[in-house]
Structure 1
Amino acid sequence: MVNAAECYQIAEQKAIEYFKSLYQQLAFKTYSSTLTKDILSWKHNHIHHHSFLSGLFGRKDKPNSQEYHKYIHWLDYTGKLDNYLDRSIAYIFLRDLGKALDSPATQARIQHVVDSLKEQLTRSVTLDRANGTEKISFVGLYRNAQKEGVGSTLLWVLDKLKTMSDHLPKELDAVHAQRKVIKIIAGVLMHEIEEMSSNTSPEERSRKIDEAIRLGYSYGLTYPLIDDLLDSKVLSLEEKKRYSELIRTTLITGNVPELGEWIGMNSDLVKYVHSELSDSFEYIKVHQRPGAQKSFFELAYVFFNAQDVDRVKDLSNQNYSNEDLYIPVILKSSFSRLIARSVISAPVDIGFDNRTFYYGIYNQLADDFSDMFEDLKEERVTPYTYYIKYHVQRQDLINPFELYWTVISNLIHNVYHSDTKTCEVILDRAINGLKRFKERMGTERYDEVMGLFASVNPKFNDLVQKMVRKADDVDFLDKLLRDRMITILKNEKAEQEAFVDTIQTVGKQISGILNIAKTLDNPLLNQTIIDSANYSLEAGGKKVRPLMAWAMGVNGYGLDPKAIAPLLRSLEYMHTASLIYDDLPSQDNAYTRRGRQTLHVVYNIAIAELTGLFLTQKAIEELTSLDPFDPKIVLNLIQYATRLIEDMCKGQAMDLDSKGKRLTLEQLNMMYFYKTGLAFEASLVMPAILAQEKEAQIEALKEFAHHAGIAFQIKDDLLDAEGDPVLLGKLTGKDVENNNSTFVTLLGSEGARKEMWDHYCQAMEELEYVPRNTTFLKQLLNYIVKRDH
């Protein structure tokens, strides 16, 4: 049980004392003369007088910092990478880990991290073979996680992030929410790694990393699902009040109250949020070490209450005092970082606690400066928005930009005892923040902002602006990674939307060309076979195979969609025929397929068998209709297709022969490749044959299909064991009922999932050898492993 009033009062009193100290320094403008000396000393390392030749050749070739790998390569080539990484890692140790940079142990640790990171970065500076752009992929992340023994944990957190993104309303930026949670996970993980000793065993290290990732997610979730949600206009005022009370009660009592009935449009959202936060809260509680739980709850309560105090402020109220504006900022900015260490139950470190408490407002004022116009638009009360609106009427208001420099001066000289390294890093960061703001806002808008906030101290401001214009080498890796992460998440979202659009539009077009017309020349001819074929073709389905062929043919090779229409029909006819045979009583004896009765149930077994044969022949016939292409190429295509059908029959026979037998992993992989991988291969290789693609690229496509097909089948195994019959459109549990060997029966669900992701990674890696537009295939692979039907 937390004594809410007492713990908040103690924290608030400490914040008041800190604010009074800052206010006194600001009143005497001590920051100005002190930081002027610091900046004049600092600038010698940051304002470089370039020669004519270096100006002509060096700076001209500097890539934009958002071009991740090119920028890292440029830093390494120009000899700037060591300093870049040193200040970046030092800043992370200062901000996130609360370390003192003058400590020999900290210096040694920073150097170790820099050396290791440099090796990784320089080794990974390679260009994507497909389009010449930088590549950061899930595959590399997953491979590293596997080495640490936390591959399953990474998959878990990615699934959680996707679920969160799916549930968030559009008013809450899903990309921003994901980035926040990932950032918190990284922060908690860093604390855990720093707490480990060199004697930690690999098994213990994996366990601790797994726990830190899950704890980081559990804590990080509070930002989008509490802070952002309560800041937004998604919930009504009454809903916000009720939701805040739920959070407050949880932190005071240590137990999550029942949600009860929640009426209104936000019912589903709130139910998800309550369930997810409840699970996260219980996970943190269970993993708190004895004696650490009370401290965690107290820190969490102060953090939440400070946010709540700040949140209810109204920008139309012109009567807030300076204390009203800054005390909650001090509390929430410092306690958010104190929690990151508390959540792993790290030992008490008074030095860390004090440094983090005094440091927090620096970071918050920098963030609020960067976001001031967005905050103003949303009518949020921050020191900057309030000053913008009332500085004319309220002469007593503190200028937040002046307080920002006061905080910097106080940190450098009073908290970090005038340490040279700390001074260097903090000034680097401050100038970098202003440079980034200027680039984003434009010179004219930036000058207006400086005219408002910095005109009170023109001499000092002139010096700062000179540094903003001329200072070099003030960039930071975390900003680079932040920009890159946002770009990746946005690109991923755009690619997913384009993929879904293609599935819907092209899938509909493909469905429109599949129907087989009845022959009218002989009225005595029984047309049942055509009816049964169309029944199967009209049953829906994902049209994965013809869509793959369309994407490879049209997007990859630039083939005419109309010209390859016979190929698309052929692939779907072959696939539908294989499903008809697969459902027969002599094989899987299935009663439903794609949400409808199977063909042999609607008609009879004989008609089903004939329909499968009919569609197989129609598939070959369609290939003879590829008129715009060279007849020799079409003949090669038909030869390839017939061999493929032969091999697929062998694969199905292998499947039937395996029933009731326990297969090895090798046998299962082979059977799945023949069952599905070959059909995927046909979908990619056949357009490549028509486009006369080189053999090396065709081999890469075959390897992609091999692994993608097996991943597809493993996902089917998982869905049969765990899926929703309604979404699947067929009964689940058939593999166990039929005594089939599957990856799930052989390895269990977790083992099967690992195997699926390993094939996913291998498939993705093969696409690097295909110099074509493969975006659709990458998204298709993502869909394969993440689908629920």
Structure 2
Amino acid sequence: MNEELRKNADACYRLAEQKAAHYFKSLSMQVMEKTYVPTLTNDIQSWKHNHIRHHSLLSFFSVRKGKPDFREYHNYIKWLDHTGKLDNYLDRSISYIFMRDLGKALDSPVTQSRIRRVVDSLKSYLTDQGNKTETFSKAGLYRMAQKDGVESTMIWVINKLKTVSSNIPKGMDAEQAQRKIIKIIAGVVMHEVEEMGEEISPEERTQKLDKAIRFGYSYGLTYPLIDDLLDANVLSTKEEKQYTDLIRTTLITGSVPELGEWPGNNIDLIRYIHSELRDAFEYIKVHQQQETMKSFFERSYVFFHSQEEDRKKDLSNGNYTNEELYIPIILKSSSSRLIVRSLISAPEDESIDERIFYYGIYNQLADDFADMFDDMEEGAVTPYTYYLKYHDKRSDLINPFELYWTVISNLLHNVYQSDTKTCEVILDRAINGLKRFKERMGTKKYNEVMELFASGNPKFNHVIQNMVRKADDVDFFDKLLRDHMITNLKNERKEREDFSETIETVRNQINNILTIRKSDKVSLTKEPIIDAANYSLEGDGKRLRPIMTWVMGVNEYGLDQSAIVPLLRSLEYMHTASLIFDDLPSQDNASTRRGRATLHQVYNIAIAELTGLFLTQKAVEEQASLDQFDSKTVLHLIRYSAQMTENMCRGQAMDLDSKGKPLTLEQLKMMCFYKTGIGFEASLIMPAILACANESEIEALKKFAYHAGIAFQIKDDLLDVEGDLTLLGKPIGKDAENDNSTFVSILGAVGARKEMWEHYCLAMEALQEVPHTTTFLKHFMNYIVNRDH
């Protein structure tokens, strides 16, 4: 590494360290003099008038009974709206975010106007009865992206998050990794929106938002893939040193070095991380404005080096000074948000930078307080864990809880100039933090903590604890979102695992019932039709259609699984027959199917044609064998099945007639629904018919199947030009070779992806109208858009 560059980086850090030392000296003087006590006591006395209400015993119980847990996202929002509290809840939440993340002063009329617009917009979104999408579901994120024309960017980032999650090693939390990246993306986008102003054109807004999302992802990666990784003890000591040297070299030189030889067992993980971080770093370098590049590298180096200073501390070392404990915290907590401003090339604004610098340690101390026992268990050095261990041995140690309230007092009166709303919001947050901690720890543990950390100021502590006991709840939207997001991500992972397990289990069951037995009678000749049928059925089929039928029939409608075995066979027989016809030389002339030679190549065209016809008749025979159901219901099902078969034939005829002809998008959608969507529809509607489901439910399932089928076909079209032959089990490029109109040929790859995601969203929205658990179908849609074969 160039020695001059290293010296410059160290000099930059020392300069930042001096500023942090000056700030810490000011805070420590206020702690010693206890100046914060009378000041905050007065503030809290004023604050409590709006937060302690006197209720009758009856009204108290009625309010508590009706209030949902604040972590129940949808119910809690509904309750806030119903009780008229949503406005204030959102106002304090957005005001807090404007201070914390954007460095804004709340006494500014411009800032207040902007907060009001955000609150109104957010309230409208949260209470929109017509909004059918979950905020942090893939469909919800895509719908949000559509409004600003950044759908392709959202598709990109969703795929990136999926890849990051799948590469998070054991010992780390994949859901927290995704949450942190999403949070950083949101923060960068917020900064960009604030900087771009109101007069920007839609085209320029789209470009800026696209860049902000990609910037946010690129920067957000550093949290799970650098900070969390180095905290998790996943890497060996040698690996950790080489990895930190690589990051340090990158930030000092502005270039990512080659990976070179790797000393440990985590080479595959490191290769992925190196590749992903290199791409992210290059994106930032290429798209960032030159005038803020220097600031970006300097702040990034300060952030990384301050984290390293903290990381190398050992809780068994009882000799750290107060400065060694607090200065790195001041640096990392402020530089992490200052980086965002240089990342988006925001213009210099000394007042914003100063507020962000002074504010950072408040958040860090609040987080460290909440996590002190987890940190203690992991042996991490924070002001709280260090004080817990050494307070009775080191009289010189600053009490971090006292410093926390000193920071609050300093912010309120020296940074934000005693602004009334700022005082309200920060005290809301502080009291809320203690309430949450008490609820999580329990009263006994909480009182033990307070006995230690608040022992130096019993009168002030009495004032605080009085508020914790008596004040109304002052919850915040970002906390609700955080809990909601983590819950969703964890549920999503569990549901995904259950989905995969169900697919595998039911697929094996279906594979075991498909083989067609030969007649027991002695045959004078061979039976090539049955052999050919079994050859086709034994291929590595996904069995999606009968699996969907099994899940809906058994799990949702409560049908006896042995009773619907004939229906499962019939669906796979019909589907396999359609593939045999589809592969014929007179139609698509395919050479491989399900990883093996197509039937007409193994036998001959005549046998293939007869086998297809044989399987369609076997399907009808199986349906007629549904003897545990009412005969009229079975006749209804057979009639419906015959109509679907007719439509599939029409769809294939349309497909053949369209070769070499340009199709409109609507013609293509109609054709692929007849070819693909009908199969999905039949898989859902047939068990619904057997269960005598009502018409509105059947219509919702048909709507879902329509959009699922189109999304499936679009993915097929994309795989035909981008897929891997070994994964697909059939040749790629056949659509172009056959001169077929496809979604890719009409819309291009980018447009086809957008169209696929549009139908994904419409399918997910249709599920809202189905009065049964639709978790399996939700993950079926995720499978459709994410599959590689």
Q: TM-score, normalised by structure 1?
A: 0.97
Distance 2:417 2:158 in 1: 42
Distance 2:371 2:625 in 1: 61
* Offset at residue 350 of structure 1 (A): 0.3
Distance 2:207 2:17 in 1: 37
Identity in percent: 71
Aligned counterparts, 1:78-97, within 5 A: 78-97=83-102
Does 1:588 pair with 2:588?
Answer: yes
Does 1:36 pair with 2:36?
Answer: no
Determine the structure 1 residue equivalent to 2:683.
683
Q: Following TM superposition, where does structure 1 have runs of at least 4 consecutive aligned residues deviating by more than 4 angstroms?
A: 124-128
Partner AA of 1:64 in structure 2: D
Secondary structure in 2 matching 1:123: coil
Secondary structure in 1 matching 2:25: helix
* Offset at residue 522 of structure 1 (A): 2.2
Determine the structure 1 residue equivalent to 2:321.
321
Partner AA of 2:23 in structure 1: Y
Does 1:437 pair with 2:437?
Answer: yes
* Worse overlay, 298-307 or 367-376: 367-376
Distance 2:519 2:386 in 1: 78
Distance 2:598 2:325 in 1: 68
Quick check: 1:69–1:125 contact (8 Å CA) kept in 2? Answer: no
Quick check: 2:239–2:264 contact (8 Å CA) kept in 1? Answer: no
Aligned counterparts, 1:290-305, within 5 A: 290-305=290-305
Determine the structure 2 residue equivalent to 1:123.
128
Secondary structure in 2 matching 1:785: helix
Determine the structure 2 residue equivalent to 1:611.
611
Determine the structure 2 residue equivalent to 1:312.
312
Determine the structure 2 residue equivalent to 1:543.
543
**Structure 2 gap segments, 5+ residues each:** none
* Offset at residue 519 of structure 1 (A): 1.5
Partner AA of 1:557 in structure 2: Y
Q: Could you tell me which of 102, 106, 119 is aligned with 1:114? A: 119
CA deviation profile, 1:3-46 (whole Å, cap 9, x unmatched): 20110010000011111111111111222222111111111111
Quick check: 2:581–2:609 contact (8 Å CA) kept in 1? Answer: yes
Determine the structure 1 residue equivalent to 2:238.
238
* Offset at residue 604 of structure 1 (A): 2.2
Distance 1:614 1:560 in 2: 28
Distance 1:413 1:136 in 2: 38
Does 1:48 pair with 2:48?
Answer: no
Determine the structure 2 residue equivalent to 1:131.
none
Determine the structure 1 residue equivalent to 2:645.
645
* Offset at residue 697 of structure 1 (A): 1.3
Does 1:501 pair with 2:528?
Answer: no
Does 1:77 pair with 2:79?
Answer: no
Determine the structure 2 residue equivalent to 1:671.
671
Distance 1:729 1:293 in 2: 48
Determine the structure 2 residue equivalent to 1:757.
757
Quick check: 2:582–2:588 contact (8 Å CA) kept in 1? Answer: yes
Distance 1:158 1:388 in 2: 42
* Worse overlay, 761-770 or 332-341: 761-770
Aligned counterparts, 1:201-350, within 5 A: 201-262=201-262, 264-350=264-350
Determine the structure 2 residue equivalent to 1:104.
109
Quick check: 1:189–1:212 contact (8 Å CA) kept in 2? Answer: yes
* Offset at residue 124 of structure 1 (A): 4.4
Determine the structure 1 residue equivalent to 2:623.
623
Partner AA of 2:342 in structure 1: S
* Worse overlay, 225-234 or 468-477: 468-477
Quick check: 1:431–1:467 contact (8 Å CA) kept in 2? Answer: yes
Distance 1:722 1:407 in 2: 55
Distance 2:309 2:675 in 1: 61
* Worse overlay, 51-60 or 695-704: 51-60
Distance 2:716 2:441 in 1: 50
* Offset at residue 113 of structure 1 (A): 1.7
* Offset at residue 574 of structure 1 (A): 0.6
Determine the structure 2 residue equivalent to 1:365.
365
Distance 2:519 2:331 in 1: 80
Secondary structure in 1 matching 2:577: helix
Does 1:705 pair with 2:710?
Answer: no
Distance 1:535 1:642 in 2: 25
Distance 2:138 2:275 in 1: 28
Partner AA of 1:756 in structure 2: M
CA deviation profile, 1:313-347 (whole Å, cap 9, x unmatched): 11222221111111111100000010111110000
Q: TM-score, normalised by structure 2?
A: 0.97
Secondary structure in 2 matching 1:58: helix
In angstroms, what is the RMSD of aligned CA positions?
1.5
CA deviation profile, 1:445-484 (whole Å, cap 9, x unmatched): 2222222222222221122111111111411111111111
* Offset at residue 127 of structure 1 (A): 8.9
CA deviation profile, 1:406-446 (whole Å, cap 9, x unmatched): 11111111111111111111110001111111111222222
Distance 1:731 1:10 in 2: 61
Distance 2:387 2:129 in 1: 46
* Worse overlay, 604-613 or 418-427: 604-613
* Offset at residue 141 of structure 1 (A): 2.9
Determine the structure 2 residue equivalent to 1:167.
167
Partner AA of 1:66 in structure 2: R
**Structure 1 gap segments, 5+ residues each:** 129-133
Determine the structure 1 residue equivalent to 2:476.
476
* Worse overlay, 295-304 or 486-495: 486-495
Determine the structure 1 residue equivalent to 2:148.
148
Secondary structure in 2 matching 1:83: helix
Distance 1:318 1:198 in 2: 54
CA deviation profile, 1:351-394 (whole Å, cap 9, x unmatched): 01111111111100111111112112221111111112222222
Distance 1:681 1:741 in 2: 24
Distance 1:111 1:611 in 2: 68
Distance 1:657 1:49 in 2: 78
Distance 1:472 1:126, change over 3 A: farther
